[in-house]
Structure 1
Amino acid sequence: MKALAALRSATGTGPRFALLMVLVVASSTPTLDALLQDVPILLGLRDGREGLHGPSGCLYAAGFDPGSSDLENLLTALSRPDTLHKCIGDHTLVPYRGALATLVLLALAAGLYWWLPAARERWRRMVPLETVDADGTLRAELAALCDRAGIRARLRFRVDPERTTSGASVYGRSGSYTVSLHSGLLPRLGTDPEGFRAVVLHELAHVHHRDVDYAYASTALWRAYVLLALIPTFTVTGWVLVLALSGTKSPWWPGAAAMMLAPALVGLLLAGLVHLARADLLRRRELFADRRAVAWGADAAGWQRPDPAGSVAPWLRRLTALLGTHPRWEERRRALDDTGRLDRVSPLAMFLTGISAALLHQSLMTLPALSDGPATFWITVGAVAPVLCFALGLPLVRASGTADGDGRSAAVAGLWLGFGLLLGEFVSSGQHRIDWMLPRPQYLLAFLLIAAVPAVWWSQSLRLALALPRRGQRWTAAGCCALVTATVLWAGLRWWRTGGETLSFGAVDRSAQLAAYYARTVPGDWHGYGPDLSAFTTGLVVLTPLSGEILVGAGALLMWLVPLVLALLQRTGLPGTGLRLRRTLGAGLAGALVCGAGLVLAQLMMNQSRPATPKGPAGPFVLIHMWWVIVTVLAACLLTATVVAARARRHWLLRALLAAQVVQLLAYAEVFLLFSADGCLGPLNTAFDVCLWRPHNGLVIDGPVISLTLVNAVLGSACAALVGAGLAWAVRRFRGRPTADNAAASASSTAVRPPSMLLKAGTLLTLAVPAVVLAAVTFTQATAPDDSRLWQDAGDAARKQRGPAPPAQAPETRAWQAASWLNDGGTRHAQQINAASVALDSQLLKSASGKRNADGTVALDEKAFHRLCGALGQRVEEARDYFPVPDRNLQKNWSAALNQVHHGTQDCQEATDPPKNAPHRTDAEREHLFTTSLNEIVSGMRTFGTTVLNIKKTATSPTK
């Protein structure tokens, strides 16, 4: 009970302070690393090509063109992602220099945290309490107040003689606090003792809530960041602008001006965010301190003070109030009068949390140890999920035992969190773009759903958890719900990085390349399937990112299974705390009937394009038919979830997920029956005309349908439920009818007949067993090359077929690209190939000058030639894996030379040491093959040398 009482009295702002400080620390590492890298370059910058090394040089070597678009540069980088990653890693001479600089920053922050209280005491010239309390009355009163508040920390009282107001303040560091009493407060002990006690109890509440620790730690860390990172970043940005405007050549100006100025914009956003978030947190903790002081016996009349009047407009006063660390007296009085005001989720807090999450994720992505892999998402979710759970969970915990409220406040909070994610992603991603605006910015709206779905699910599932009869069950269920919430949030962020970001860059417009890939790899007549294939390739970008994630699959399964188990465990509960299983299951059955009708309609429509004979290539028909089956199953699930959420009043998201799961499982059974009975359905036949029961055919079609919908149907239904509930709320609001909250409040007093235990248990077994079996079968086969994974690989193959990037328009860019290509690996590969060729030539000269056979022929050391030809071939293969030459004509010559040399080395090895499975050759044939291979190597090396010279000429060509 002590833990529950402590949780109910918590302020809930601690996780937000932790997120803010984690953000500052995480942002320090890439910022300081960039400063340590850029400052030496800028100090010696004369010609742009001299500064093209490191990560910037790797980008230009890969074909980066500041005069192109973000999409073109993205596709260019994706042509050799492993090579680009290796190049950047090789140029990170001190991979942890940013981390070391961050340690210096943290040491400075620790020093400031230790020094600021002492500095304040010296600056304000505090005097001991004994100098103004000769008879000990003041000390006795303060000791009594400390006993009333139960303060056990080391606490000192000082008097500030220069402050004549009747207030006080507290400062210090962890374990040692000082309360500064203003000189104008001391006379109030005799004239207004209740007012004096209210002021002191308010400061003691700050000590009780550890507000001093949060305030001084965040202040010290932020000042250290501003001094070592933020101010130097603005200085470097200003110096870059001066150099650019003064005519100094730079490969980043003006084409990549957005990328150059983005760090300054991110720095400004971070500065504004930290100040607003810190001010909002401190204001909120002031309100909690007021409430704690009143709970300790402070007279609420002490807060009846007027706000200072001024000539400032009211809207401007409200705006500037967001920058202050202390709330206005009017706001403080409202918080005391309305006991539930502090329990409501602040939209500003959620908005700032979303921006913090986006900036944190972008900062983590730049760290060498976290740049590749999903760890950045977990760290971000680990910092954001506690904020979300505490903000939405504490009001429910304090109101546990009642049926007040439902999911609307959580939806609003989630939408504000998503809006913050949207803005933070839009600004921070500009560091990696050359365009000021994303090609498809409307896809950023997905962040609203990414944040709102876990927020609503957590709020509604936690209410079910708190209605359990036993305390141990409640805590266990709440922990499980928190883990599912974090997983769903992780899944949303993961989807954006692997699919949504591609859509926002406009890559979906290049679906013709992927369509051409399927037209080449799937035999058959694709004529007439153009629109279907376009929809298919676009849908894969949406569905494939999460279809093979085992963790996301587990989270999707638990999203509807956990509420169902919680409903089963509730023997007797408060009115309105159940899921209304009968209506929910009925809606699911109706949705399954709609899905069956949709599948029949799809069969009839696809029957018109059925191949004339089953013996012909039916690949296009089967692939497109399978796609529309997937669309039908998803549409039925989403439609059911939308309708259920729109008509429900309580737990609308949980009920929508449960109904959609009924549709999903029955839809799989319908697909299996339709295709297993193919040939017996008349106009609904797909591939067969002979009536036989073919369960294997049903399993073959059901497999890819399940792999692409098992996870996506649940997550998509959650998003559809949010949209449906929002539309229903808007319609009710427009018609003047009660909204979901008001209707739920009026209905909460009316008890409904709870479902029987038999219905609960039967529903759980009927839904859970097949769902768990399907998930286990699907994800245990995820390592095999299933259709969904092959479809995702097809996109990668289509990108690789693009070849080298189109030539840059500006001659300066072409020169910078060629110079970077040479500096970051091209010259090294050329030297290695030349060295291997020289070694082969030396062996030839050595053999020519050595002993001869009796017939006058040269005696060759076949093992040596086999080894030297193999070494030359290895060097050629390494050069092939390097970036294409950033010029298509030069790349054509480069590739032709490498292919010719590589073919010659293979013939050389086959002639000197034939492999076991090679056809038998006579000595004369081997000698001829060896001679031909050497001639081919010589010819290829001649072309190779000419090509390298042309690349160097391009790199050193004048740029004026």
Structure 2
Amino acid sequence: MRFLNALRSGNGTGPRFALLVALVVAAGATTLDVVLSSFHNIRSDSSEEPLKGAFGCMLAAGIDPSSADADNINAITSRMKLFDQCIGAQPTSYEGVIGTLVLFAVAAAIYWLLPVWRNRPHRLVPVEAVDADGALRAELAALCERAMIRSRVRFRVDPRRMTAGACVFGRAGSYTVSLHAGLLARRGVDPEGFRAVVLHELAHLHQRDVDYAYAGTALWRAFVLGALVPQFALVAYLVVLVLTGTESPFWNGGKLFFAQIVFGLFLAALVHLARADLLRRRELQADLQAVTWGAHPAGWYQPERPGRVPSRLRRATALLRTHPDWAERRLALADPERSARITMVEMFLTGASAALLAGLAAAVQAVPYGTSIWITVVLAAAVPCSVLGLRVVRSRRSRHGRAESGAFVGLWFGLGLMTGDYVVSNLHRSDWLLPEPLYLLAFLFIAAVPVVWWSQSLNLALGLPTRGRRWTAAAVCVLTTVVLLWDGLQWWRLGGERIALGAGDVNAALETYYKQVVPGDWSPFSFDLRVLSVGMAMLTPLFNEALTIGAAALLWLTPLVLMLTQRVRAGVRLRRTLLWGVAGGLLSWGALAVALAALHAHGPVGRPERAGPFFLVSTWWTIVVAVAAPAVTAAVVAAVSRRHWMPRALIAGQVAQLMAYAAAFLFYSADGCLGPLNNATHTCGWNASNGTEHARRVIVLTLADTVLAVACAALVGAAAAWAVRTVRGRPTDVPAWPAPSLSALRRPALLGTGLLLALSVPALLLTGVTSPRVTVSADEFMQSRAQPQRQQPVRSPEQRARMRSWQAWAWMYHGGNERSQRIRHALERLTRLLGDGQQQGAQPDWDAYRRICAAVDSTVADAGQYFPVPLADLQKEWASALSTMRQGTRRCVTVTGTPAAGQDSTQARNATALALSVQQIVTGAVDWQKASVHIRDVAGGGELPSP
């Protein structure tokens, strides 16, 4: 119960302690998992046991620890379902989780024993020993009564400390206040200063700060002992192995050591920053509480003690210190709201811990990825929603409260996500730097857009007339914020990360894919094809996600409803927002006309030629207009708005988006009557089906993505406006919220309802239009596109031989051997049938041949769908043998499918064709046997057991 009361304390240390615990859990489990898995991989030089786990699945899929990241990603995505099945079939390892539980047990022991160590009898003396007349004890009891301390408190004196200070320590229910000897001397000359120091320490007890401080210290020491020491011990062990001449293909030069060291230092910095932020905040809150109880503020006007650290370096390292300096304390007393503000460090730590939790959840095989990512998103969204929400509520209640936009909070949150993801991913990547590092900036939008939307939408929700409506609106805003954050992280996982790693369009594979799907002359559209390939990689990850479509609708519909149901207008200028939206819609009409005119002037003349690449390119530029025009509109609206700029930009963008869809429908329905804007035909006439089909293609890909692009563009527009105001010396703060006036005019209900229906009904209808979606799975798409040529890493002959052996062994163990056994059994059945037919000398048993040939064909096809052999020379031999067998089995099934009974000449021809097909199967089987022997030889020889 005491712990729950501590968490509910309103001074902000409770959420910070929860953040520290989350960081220790994520960092400890991730570190221990990395350490233990690394030791397993180190032992792989003398044992194949690590190849039976997840590392073996990676090798079987074609991953090479020393190859480029783009090559490894393409190797996995080419058989994503098989890779997921292989990973899911591995035994779940709880070593990291168990190690984290042990770490917390050590922290609990430290928390319990640390006060006992500090309260040693020979170090501290009872206060009675220095208080002969009892005046000191009486004054301390009066101060405890003023501070409403109900816990058991013992006062001790530290005779060796001559400073005029004190400290408090202990554990829940039993606390000790240690008074320095210098403080007792100060009591005689400065009683107010003495009382201020004691009240400050009692404030720590009142606010449960002692529990937080000692629990945080215990967690830090346990983390160093149980996580960081093993981490750096691993690095030292790796250095020793390399210096002793260990040859292993798993090593990747200095990258492995660098990644391990940076990862350990990053975790240490994160946990220390969280602990330091927690301890600094508790000091400032204790100062405020002591002044509230009557302590004189003059006691805080103390000079800084001279030290060896220069002042500039001291200011630079302020975030690493656990105690604020006197200047910071005085600022907090002068402005109590200062200590209640959201610190950028807090949001950075929240984002970094969320990235660590995502990595931890991905490593826990017992938790499905869909569940784990939701756990991460909910925990990551809890801090900005709660802390920033409390800030927004306080600003609305304050007469002079400033509107909280949440932009800087979201940007620091995104910076933490970006830093955490980059550092953690370095442990699993081969390249030193990302091939496309600018895509990491997407994390700023992934985090800032939900935070800004939550802050400004909650401001609107607080303006509703009744408490029930406010709670309902706040709940909808929370759910939308969580889903929006999930959308961003899901987009990064499905598309953004792949593009950042250089695997978005390796060797123009997407361009090759589009040329295969849409045959024709692509030479006039080389630039358009490059833009199309890049743009589709950005749009496709989330275009058919139901949650994304729902969140996109709520992004603009929720603020619109809130604006229409406000008690008073209170600064909500909806009419101007709609006019900006109409202007953006007209911009989309003009942009689409310009695009069609340019395509018409440079496109082919004949109608058949316009049905191929030309029509796809024209559709693509329509998609570009449907996304770009609303985004530009949103950026302008956000730049010219000082309050509610995110909701206003979303509403204006939605108006422009609907008008862009109308333009696509009208332009393609009236195709042939538009002169220089004609697209596919020169015959004038109204063709609504053509316009509907074309608009549907555009809507399918842009219905949700355009709203998300609008939100990101609004953030860019607001940032640009802020930068301009800063350069020109104008105020950049958001104006205070206007006080509601009872005489303010209410918005007509009929007008608001009509506006809501005019915007929401078309959007819902468009959602229904896009329901018959044609989706292609990741496996089908990656298998259909041209595979890039892999660059072979530079290795010594011994390393090459070891890696070839590893990959072949893992490929056989994780499914290759099992599929080889199936093929062998099917061929044995065919061999027995051939032997029976030769002994009988009669006509072939057509049904038996058809069943067995179909069985062989099925097993061979299944083997062909398995991971390609990771070694190019063996894969060529393996694939050629399977192809030969499949040609024979398909011919056998065709010949035996419809034999002409009773016609001797036809049966004779069929028998001859059957013999030829069987001969082809036998030829392929011989080649397959040779390929299998070669693979087994590379893997080490002998039969390999299946998992």
**Normalized against structure 1, the TM-score is what?**
0.88
Q: 2:883 aligns with which of 899, 913, 927?
A: 899
Quote the offset at 1:172 in angstroms: 3.1
Q: 2:871 aligns with which of 872, 887, 895?
A: 887
Larger mean CA deviation between 319-328 and 109-118 belongs to: 109-118
Q: Structure 1 residue 907: deviation in Å? A: 6.0
Cα distance, 1:752–1:763 mapped onto 2, change above 3 Å: farther
Task: Tell me which residue corresponds to 2:766.
Answer: 774
Shift in Å at residue 19 of structure 1? 2.7
Question: 1:539, CA displacement in angstroms?
Answer: 0.6
Whether the 8 Å CA contact 2:457–2:477 is kept in 1: the answer is yes
Per-residue deviation at 1:556? 2.2
What is the aligned partner in structure 1 of residue 77 from structure 2?
78
Show the counterpart of 2:935: 951
1:341 is paired with a residue whose SS is: helix
Q: Secondary structure at the match of 2:146?
A: helix
Q: Structure 1 CA distance, aligned partners of 2:814 and 2:589?
A: 63
Q: Which moved more, 1:64-73 or 1:581-590?
A: 64-73
- Cα distance 1:389–1:652, how it changes in 2: closer, same or farther (>3 A)? same
Range moving further from structure 2, 279-288 or 503-512: 503-512
589, 597, 602: which one aligns with 2:590: 597
In 2, are the aligned partners of 1:70 and 1:433 still within 8 Å (CA)? yes
1:673 aligns with 2:676: no
CA spacing shift, 1:955–1:790, aligned 2, 3 Å: closer
**Residue of structure 2 equivalent to 1:207:** 205
Please say if residues 588 and 662 of structure 1, whose CA atoms lie closer than 8 Å, have aligned partners that are also in contact: yes
Contact 1:26/1:360, CA 8 A, preserved across alignment: yes
1:555-954 to 2 correspondence within 5 Å? 555-572=551-568, 577-609=570-602, 612-614=605-607, 618-736=611-729, 738-741=730-733, 744=735, 756-758=747-749, 759-775=751-767, 777-778=769-770, 781=771, 784-786=772-774, 789-790=775-776, 795-799=781-785, 801-802=786-787, 805=790, 810=795, 811-826=797-812, 857=841, 875-904=859-888, 928=912, 931-954=915-938
Deviation at 1:862, TM superposition (A): 8.6
Task: Name the CA shift for 1:707/1:591 in 2 (closer, same or farther; >3 Å).
Answer: same
- Which of 223, 226, 237 is the aligned partner of 2:235? 237
**Conserved 8 A contact 1:345-1:392:** yes
Q: Take 1:872 and 1:217, find their aligned partners in 2: how far apart are those partners?
A: 65
Partners of 1:851 and 1:413 lie apart in 2 by 80
Q: 552-561 or 133-142: which moved more?
A: 133-142
Instruction: For residue 673 of structure 1, report the CA deviation from its aligned partner.
Output: 2.4
Instruction: Report the 3-state secondary structure (helix = DSSP H, G, I; strand = E; otherwise coil) of the residue aligned with 1:308.
Output: coil
Over 3 Å counting, the alpha-carbon distance change for 1:82 and 1:123 in structure 2 is: farther
Within-5 A mapping of 1:26-105: 26-39=26-39, 42=42, 44=43, 54-90=53-89, 92-105=90-103
Matches within 5 A, 1:6-21: 10-21=10-21
What CA distance in whole angstroms lies between the structure 1 residues aligned with 2:830 and 2:761?
73
- How far did residue 140 of structure 1 move? 4.7
Q: Return the match for 1:258 from 251, 255, 259.
A: 255
Worse-superposed segment, 289-298 or 96-105:
96-105
Give the match for residue 547 of structure 1.
Answer: 543
2:279 is aligned with 1:295: no
Displacement of 1:156 after TM fit?
4.6
Residues 1:835 and 1:81: Cα distance change in structure 2 (over 3 Å): closer
Question: In 2 relative to 1, CA 767–143 (structure 1 residues): closer, same or farther, beyond 3 Å?
Answer: farther
Hey, what's the Cα distance between the residues in 2 that align with 1:259 and 1:754? 67
Flag the 1:188–1:310 CA change in 2: closer, same or farther, 3 A: closer
1:414/1:682 CA distance change after superposition, 3 Å: same
Secondary structure of residue in 1 paired with 2:323: coil
Q: Give, as a single letter, the amino acid of the residue that structure 2 aligns with 1:557.
A: A
Q: 1:304 to 1:54 in 2, by over 3 A?
A: same
- Take 2:503 and 2:302, find their aligned partners in 1: how far apart are those partners? 60
Query: What amino acid does structure 2 have at the position aligned with 1:64?
Result: I
Cα offset, 1:747, TM superposition: 9.0
Q: Let me know the Cα RMSD of the aligned residues.
A: 3.7
Instruction: Give the 3 Å change call, closer, same or farther, for CA 302–886 of structure 1 in structure 2.
Output: same
Give the drift of 1:584: 1.3
Aligned to 1:3: none
Distance 1:58 1:25 in 2: 27
Q: Give the match's secondary structure for 1:71.
A: helix
Residues 202 and 290 in structure 1, CA contact (< 8 A), matched pair in contact too:
yes
Q: Tell me if the contact between 1:258 and 1:433 (Cα under 8 Å) persists in the aligned partners.
A: no
8 Å CA contact 2:607–2:680 kept in 1: the answer is yes
User: CA shift at 1:349, angstroms?
Assistant: 2.7
Residues 17, 212 of structure 2: 8 Å contact kept: yes
Check 1:844–1:658 CA distance in 2 against 1; reply closer, same or farther (3 A cut): closer
Between the aligned partners of 1:580 and 1:639, the Cα distance in structure 2 is 20
Deviations 1:776-800 (A, max 9, x none): 554xx2xx443xx45988753455x
| Number of positions where the alignment pairs a residue of Structure 1 with one of Structure 2 | 931
8 Å Cα contact 1:540-1:792 kept in structure 2? no
Encode CA deviations 1:566-610: one digit per residue, 9 max, x unaligned. 22232236xxx4321121111111111111111222222222355
What is the CA-CA distance between 1:529 and the residue it aligns to? 1.6
Pairwise CA distance, 1:895: 0.9
1:314 is aligned to 2:300:
no
Change beyond 3 A, Cα 1:541–1:439: same
SS at match of 1:327: coil
Letter in 1 for 2:16: R
Q: CA 1:645 to 1:751, structure 2 compared with 1: closer, same or farther past 3 Å?
A: farther
| Between 654-663 and 7-16, the greater mean CA deviation after superposition | 7-16
- Cα drift, residue 434 of structure 1: 1.0
Q: Deviations over 1:790-818 (max 9, x none)?
A: 5988753455x418856555444542343
Deviates more, 1:655-664 or 1:816-825: 816-825
What are the within-5 Å matches in structure 2 for residues 70-469 of structure 1? 70-90=69-89, 92-122=90-120, 125-127=123-125, 137-153=135-151, 155-186=153-184, 192-255=190-253, 257-259=254-256, 261-370=258-367, 373-402=369-398, 404=400, 410-469=406-465
Aligned residues of 1:581 and 1:755 also touching (Cα < 8 A): no
| Preserved contact between residue 644 and residue 655 of structure 1 (Cα < 8 Å) | yes
TM-aligned CA deviation for residue 775 of structure 1: 3.4
Deviates further, 313-322 or 44-53: 44-53
**Paired residue secondary structure (2:177):** strand
Report the more deviating stretch, 900-909 or 383-392: 900-909
- Counterpart residue identity of residue 83, structure 2: L
Relative to structure 1, the CA distance from residue 741 to residue 880 in structure 2 (aligned partners, 3 Å threshold; closer, same or farther) is: same
Specify whether residues 926 and 403 from structure 1 end up closer, same or farther in structure 2 by C-alpha distance, changes over 3 A only: farther
Deviates more, 1:435-444 or 1:412-421: 412-421
Does the 8 Å CA contact 2:658/2:763 hold for their aligned counterparts?
yes
Q: Which amino acid counterpart does residue 818 of structure 1 have in structure 2?
A: R
**Is the 8 Å Cα contact of residues 556 and 711 (structure 1) preserved in structure 2?**
yes
Superimposed CA distance per residue, residues 249-276 of structure 1 (whole angstroms, 9 cap, x where no aligned partner): 1112345x42454233211101011112
Compute the TM-score of the two structures, normalised by the length of structure 2.
0.89
Q: Which runs of 5+ in 1 are unaligned?
A: 1-5
Q: Secondary structure at the match of 2:524?
A: coil
Unaligned runs of 5+ in 2: 1-5, 942-947
Q: Which amino acid aligns with 1:72?
A: D
Change in 2 beyond 3 A, CA 1:13/1:481: farther
TM-superposed CA distance for 1:438, in Å, is: 0.6
Number of the residue aligned with 2:944: none
Q: Is the 8 A contact 2:823 2:859 kept in 1?
A: no
> Which letter does structure 1 place at the counterpart of 2:409?
A
Q: Secondary structure at the match of 1:711?
A: helix
Q: Distance in 1 between matches of 2:461 and 2:791?
A: 58
* Alpha-carbon contact 2:248-2:799 (below 8 Å) kept: no
| Distance in 2, Cα, partners of 1:880 & 1:586 | 59
Quickly say closer, same or farther: Cα 1:483–1:159, change in 2 above 3 A. farther
Structure 1 contact 678–688 (Cα < 8 Å) conserved: yes
